[in-house]
Every structure is written in C-alpha cells, then in structure tokens.
Amino acid sequence: MNTKKHIKPQALIFVGRSGCGKGTQAELVCEYLKEIDSKRDQLYIQTGAEFREFIKGNNYTQKLSKKAYDTGGLQPEFLAASMWLNVLVKRYKGDEHLIFDGTPRKYHEAGTLDSVFKFYGFGKPYVINVNISGVESKRRLLARKRIDDTENEIKKRLEWYETDVVPAINFYRDNSNYHFLEIDGERTPAEIHKDIIGRLHL
C-alpha cells in the first residue's frame, strides 16, 4: 500500500500515437495520485472529449469544426488550444494536480501550454510519451472497430502524427524545464503504469 502524503501540485502531459493507451494511463495515474495524495484535487483535461462535446453545437465555428471532424480534417491550433484553455481558465482553482490527455497536437500549441506552466508557477511538469509503432497503432485502431477508424482515417492520423504531433513532442524532449519520460507502450497496461509511476519523482 502506498504511503499517504501531501505533495505539491504536479502537471502531467500524456502524448503518443492514436491507440497508444495514453487515456488509460492518464486515468490510472489520476487514481494513483488520489491514493497517495487524497487531500489534493485533480483537474483532468481530455482535449478529444472536449472536441466531441463542442461539435454538438450549432454556431458557425462549431459547424466548421464538425465538418473538419466528419471529413477527417485536422482541427486548427487556435481551436484545439481553446478546448483545454477554456476548461483550465474556468475550473482551475490553483492547488490541483493538472493532467492533460492528448494535448498538445501541434508545435505552437506546445508553446502555449508551456506558457501555462510558467504563469501558474509549476516547477517541472512531466511529459509522458507512450510510444508505439505506426504498425501497432493501426492494428489497435482497427481492432476497436469505431466508426471513424477506417483505413483511410487511420492513415491520415498516422501521417499527422509524424508531421504535426512529433514536432510538438520534440518541443519537450531534452528541454531542461520538463521531465520527459519515454515509455514503451507495447506492453500490458499494468506494466506501463508500473513503469510510469516508478519514474515519477513525487
């Protein structure tokens, strides 16, 4: 059993290819933080979930965003950033752990997120890159049989990962202001989780 303690607010960013399991790992780390630091709340921000809710609306921007979503287009940086910034500005109280799932997706979005940590005074956030191959990503996405997981859509996502997401991840790699954790995502969820928490200095 983990020893209960009160640790200072932490910021964790989970990134990786589609299907890598970053959402699962983010949730497991949330549970771990609750277990070892039950007195501190968490703000868990899922950009994808925010987008899916956003495109249900009927204003002009929401309609354009839904069109991009339905046709497999990539959402613009300003809109992607607005998804998590809106939650952060409205809900962050100043003493929670911050967990980001699926952000950033582009290089300039990484810079925007960087300014958040400086503004709020987070010392050294963690970037957790759950790394799987493109082949494994495709296999997992096809296996889950979601309506948007067609061969063509998966191909686009894998291409976007290389052209857009990798530069964003590289913003943090070898950046002395961050703990960058390269995690082998081609293992069981339990093994990956154990690896992650073993490398968190809390």
> Considering the chain, what percentage of its residues have pLDDT values greater than 90?
79
Residue 77, domain member (yes or no): no
Residue 62, domain member (yes or no): no
With cut-offs at 50, 70 and 90, classify the pLDDT of residue 1: very low
146 pLDDT above the threshold of 90: no
As for how many domains the chain has, the answer is: 1
pLDDT tens profile 53-99: 999 999 999 999 999 888 777 789 999 999 999 999 999 999 999 99
Q: Which domain holds residue 25?
A: 11-45+93-198
Residue 48, CB-side half-sphere exposure with 13 Å CA sphere: 9
Residue 87, domain member (yes or no): no
DSSP alpha helix (H) spans, the chain:
22-36, 47-54, 60-70, 77-91, 107-120, 134-144, 151-160, 166-172, 189-198
With cut-offs at 50, 70 and 90, classify the pLDDT of residue 133: very high
154 pLDDT above the threshold of 90: no
In this prediction, residue 40 carries a pLDDT of 93
Residue 194, domain member (yes or no): yes
What pTM, to 2 d.p., does this model score?
A: 0.91
160 pLDDT above the threshold of 50: yes
Give the dihedral of Cα atoms 112, 121, 198, 47; nearest 10 deg.
Answer: -30
Residue 88, domain member (yes or no): no
Residue 59, domain member (yes or no): no
Residue 158, CB-side half-sphere exposure with 13 Å CA sphere: 19
In this prediction, residue 155 carries a pLDDT of 87
In this prediction, residue 177 carries a pLDDT of 96
Residue 85, domain member (yes or no): no
- The least confident of 31-40, 126-135, 155-164, 166-175 is 155-164
pLDDT tens profile 61-71: 999 999 988 87
Residue 33, domain member (yes or no): yes
Closest by alpha carbon to 49, among 9, 11, 22?
Answer: 22
Helix axes 77-91, 47-54, angle to 10 degrees: 100
- The least confident of 1-15, 113-127, 153-167 is 1-15
Q: What is the CATH number of the domain that holds 133?
A: 3.40.50.300
Report the residue count for the chain.
202
pLDDT tens profile 32-43: 999 999 999 999
